[in-house]
Structure 1
Amino acid sequence: MSQIIIGKTLAELCNDCTEFLPEVTIIAYEQLKTEEPYSGKGNISFQSIVQEDELDGRKPIGSAQTSADGSFELHVDAAKLTPGLTLHVKLSKLPHQRSEVKKTVQIRVATFTPDRWEEEGMKVTLRLYQDFWCNVIRKLYDAWVICGRIVSCKNSKIPAKGYRVTAMDKDLLNDDNLGTAITDDNGYFRIDYQSLDFKQTFLSFLGLNVETPFNTGGFGPDVYFQVQSPDGDVVFKENREVGMQPDRKDRGHCFCVSLCVPLEGTATSGGWLRIARSLKIPDDRSLHAFDTDGFARNGFALKGVLAMQGNVPPTSSLETLTGNPYEYRFLVSTTVTAANAITASRTYIDQSHFSPNVIDGTSPYFQRVLLGTLTSNLSNDSVDVYLEQSFIKADGWVNLLECIRKTFQNDPNLDENDLNTGSWAWDSEFLMGIDSAKISSDMSPRVTTPTVNTPGDAIAQPMPRQKIAIRFEMREVISEGVYQTPPQSGTTLNSVYISNADPVLKMDLVDNRTNLCSPVSGNIGVAYTVHHPHLRSASITLRKSGGPTFTLTDGARLPQNDILPTGTATINNANLGINHGANNISLSRCTYMLDLHVSLRRLIGDSIETPEPFPAQAFFYEV
């Protein structure tokens, strides 16, 4: 039997800043008696670089490659998981590495024991902790990073979006520019650099690079910052002597910082930014989580409720609710006429395709979500505000200020009059929930799971791949019937694949029995049919009671571990030989189990869908 391990790999830069590890190899080994079970951060000494002699005679029982977001799916032989499983990470470069250092390192990360395993697979997070990652691994690769956030000096809950941050290193003669970054929608920024960026001196032409001033007790940069607004105005500039303060002097390979700047009195909005928390929609700079065709995160379709995430303030005032209200709405089109693109001149699908499918007060596609949290800057009390369908206007517009007021009106413990005074902070969560399953069922042709009566049969009517487009509109209410349209309005995801139908999974033993309760003998095989428009992997294993597990091969059909997003949708065979033909497995008198393993290229929220286990088929073989 094959055990599935679904996980994500990340490393800590500081307490609130982590990085995913893409394109690294996850390697599984049987746990050694000398390896203690991993118990979290208290057992951080377990993480270490593995030397070659430590691997002598130790064979991997499985391996997998991580994707762009550090996620992986690992298949291992369940018979080899006693007493436990040790996972290593093998890498040859670091995320955003600027140095020319090239080397391959294998890291022992964690050991898991059988109490973590479940029928549908074990979910793990391989977390490389800050002390080891920054002081050992990043030092090895000469990889330095500054991770920071910029917020309003008046209200730390308001991020400074789109600000340009420059990090400098104070030197004896000429200060070094470590790098520049633009803050994201939540005010975060990241600057990556190498030691050469702060160690060049007047002696560098002789090949001597060193940090100055000399003999200061450390070898890292002495950091100070300058910040410019999106318009290019310098709004924050530290004196270079700040670099000699204890919290800025001789910074290590990971340095985290918080800065504040004065923000103007008008609220800024990023509009619609993501689906779920990590699937950023294309903009003028990047396709982000989607490709041109509409697949998310390197070839995945989306399933279930699509949570629209973004940043829309209740009003145009930063700290009161007395400014002009903002309204927004979402529209869905099942007519996809354009691909996703990066360029500023890209063509959005025409608005006329969306008119029948506004997510309004009666739409069957609506799903309730948490809009955000309103916090009083005076009392620090907070109120969660949810989007109820009754709050949405007939034409689909959501007025955030009205949603807040109705929340106060519907709660006897809240006083609506409090909204008219004082100072408030709005922390946006989600903008709308859209039920893709109901959209799937309304699309033409309607997608239903085909009926297969006999395992091994082909699919007469394959399930099509479904795509939709999503449009976001926004406006500022100047007065009744008078609106101003901000530039974020009209943002459109031209193409996104959705998938909600169950896969076709059929499997049966092919034998000469006339009675299902009888033992089997002679030549036996397996008949199977697997079908889904978003297949990711498929395999069949035969496991002997108390013995080994065999993976059956069927030419180019099976096994398949990484089916392309637009690859095959159907895999079938009416009689794949088990103890004859290509497999020719020698069977002894014993009980055997046939297992069908299938995974799909589907995301539920931010996570890869965990495959449902297919019922194993047992039989007794008589020699």
Structure 2
Amino acid sequence: MGIIFKGNLTGALCKDCKEPLLGSVIRFYRVDNINSDILSHVAADPKETIRILDEKEIKVKSKLLVAEAKIDENGDYSTVIKGNEQYDGPLTIDIVTHRVYQQKSKDRDPIQFTITTVQPRWTQDDQDNLIFNWKYCIQSRFWCHIRELFDAWVICGRLLNCKEKNTPIPGITVIAMDDDWITDDTLGSAVTDGSGHFRIDYTSSDFKKTFLSPVINVETPFPPFNSGPDVYFKLELAGTPIAFEKPSDKRNNVGPCLCVQLCLDTIDIPDVPIPASFTHFGRTRKIGIQSEINSANGKTQRTGFEGYAFYGSVFMIGSLTKRLNNQPMEYLFEYQKVATPTTPLSASGWLPVKNNMIPETVIGNLITLTSDPMNPVVKEPVYINPVGTGKTEVTYNGDWIKVPQNANFEAHQDAEILRINTNLIDTRPDIDMSAPTATIGSATTATNPRRQNEYVAIRMKQREENNPASEVVAGTSKAIALFNVRYDNVNKHGSWAPSTASNQVAAVSVDIDEILSGSTGCNKITEDLNVRYTARHENLGSVALSIVGPKKPGQNFSFPAISLMSEPETFGTTQLQFTPSGQSVKDLLPCAYTITLSATVKLTTGDGEPGPINDFISFCKS
């Protein structure tokens, strides 16, 4: 048998916002002398009896302590007193607060306050325990005063659709600002939840910043020194600012608990204060158009990603603005081929990137509020050359792309603003690799001439709509290496099962001398195995041979590493290496084996690279 004290304690911040008393302890005290004052307290509303105790009062009542319990993150508490002792009189309930919920300020001495005196209503469980269950929510006026003593300031609010008052807007970042005469302070930020609620915790140091902070923090202007912040709010959606309140909309000198209901009727995206620009290649790699391009060869020069040429469709990464010189803006991209990466660019050598050279590209979004509580904010992409129907498309002014002027248009920032199909810049024909299988393992450029990397610089221009005089360059790349040539009629599977393949990223072929010397391609291997290989591409990354087949216990075999030769191809003949070293081909088990030649190429779109290009050949060991 025992006595159980349990329940839940919270503190109100406002009507629909409360918090658990995490960081506090609840204490139950006996009442020493029951008199008329005590009885009046038992009958009184806790709002009338709650007060902070001084050290003397705390010391006097310490000997009357019956039980205490810590309050958890849900506001729940529970403690058990073992034994048969019972107490039927009234109990005084105090709270000792060490920290308040989500406190950001430094610790301070605990504060003890008394809430009320109650006559417990005991219940009994099936184990004969006596239970006193007491729940209470401390009124906001008193609890916010306690929070202020801990320098714990809070904003609790909700963001709703003004036109649909019951529709919350989730996923919006709410930023609380303090309007100050020197510089506005950011108090904090939070993202609205599924019901539109948000909570921002801060301290007085967040709004008492000066040019001498953190040495001297005071709220300005002077005086008073003990005023609260003057709060207004900014909104963002996934990092994009939304036009909302201005400093003139501030709430003056707010207290430690501010409860607000904000509403938004339309999405208005203010233009960004930075100019439009073209800065990188590729959404994933984000290769700098100047700093990460090697001036000597036009290839990438990023640590861990060096020596790559470009191919395929490449995203141009940068930022757009809706207006230039306060006028609607339009932009275009141009390219210029050069003989070498170091060839100076010509002022008259630029060609426009035509509409047909641009695959589907998203350059921003139209953001709209809806009345659907399950989907309150809709982002509708805006496309260049959309695939399919029902998509919002930009308009052109010749080769110039008009930036949408819709108030709710969110222009891309540090994201794709164009995509160029570089196959329409490098338009050279494929290389015909037609040759007898006997040529595998030998040089091919004499009979199948090479086509080297092309070099092209790319730039972005912007201007006021229909105003050529306002044209400015918004970013020019170094000349980049470009290679879109494919290989046709490439030998595959050597003399074993001869065939050819076309439209290959690289020419990769493998054969075996001992099969090549036969008439059917089915010669069995007995004592010798000489493997021929050829891998050709202007930007080879690696070439390797591997073999799959059974092994004797303790036996191991593989091909030696292949070192790359001068561009554009690596070729030769090699043999298996065995462990132990005294073994040879004749020690292979009589079975079937497959040899694979694999090559990689250093090409990138800025978002991906081609996978390995392979060829294989099988043989039987007799």
TM-score by length of 2: 0.39
More strand by proportion, 1 or 2? 2
What TM-score, normalized by structure 1, do the two folds share? Answer: 0.39
